[in-house]
Amino acid sequence: MGMMRGRDLMRALGFFLFIQLALPGPGAVWAAEKNMPAFSLPGIGGSAELVSSEKYQGKVILVNFWATWCPPCRREIPSLIRLYHENRDNGFTVIGISMDRGDRRKISDFVTKIGIDYPVALGTPEVARSFGAMGTIPATFLMNRQGRIVKKYPGYTTYEKMAEDLKELME
């Protein structure tokens, strides 16, 4: 019986290693072939108004799905703030979509405390799925001025990688 458990454990470990090697890791970039899905979500933080994809047409947009309880998300947010500040005057915005559930005040307090000043909305599983966020957060999507998703970053992504990709679109 103990031998069977060991064999099952080895199969499970082998499958896990296969998945880890077969799929891109954190910070990897997947190209996408679709337009940014339309959405209109309740705003959080400084703007309690709706955050709508329609409002940002013609801009380069970085949409970031995140949550307050997610350590990689928390680590990535300062990079998003920096990108926003460096590029917002040139037709660029970041839109944060919180996947938290529950108390909106808690999310709003977090947004204020960490200094997020780009638009933040309360997300839904449907909106996340429409982008192709496959259950991993952070999940970030870069759109060109025509509204096409040109890069997808599953998991934590460095400032340098996002800045490099953004530079190509801003030129």
For the stretch 75-125, pLDDT in tens is 999 999 999 999 999 999 999 999 999 888 999 999 999 999 999 999 999
pLDDT reading at 19 higher than 70 = no
Per DSSP, 69 falls in state T
Supply the pTM of this predicted model. 0.79
pLDDT reading at 23 higher than 70 = no
Domains of the chain by residue range? 27-170
The answer to whether 166 and 55 have CB atoms below 8 angstroms apart is no
Q: Residue 7 has what pLDDT?
A: 47
What is the C-alpha to C-alpha distance for residues 157 and 159, in angstroms, rounded to an integer?
Answer: 7
Q: Give Cα 4 distance to the centre of its chain.
A: 41
Phi, psi of 102 (to 5 degrees): 105, -135
- Containing H/E element for 162? helix 159-170
Most confident of 42-46, 48-52, 136-140: 136-140
Level-2 CATH architecture, domain 27-170: 3-Layer(aba) Sandwich (3.40)
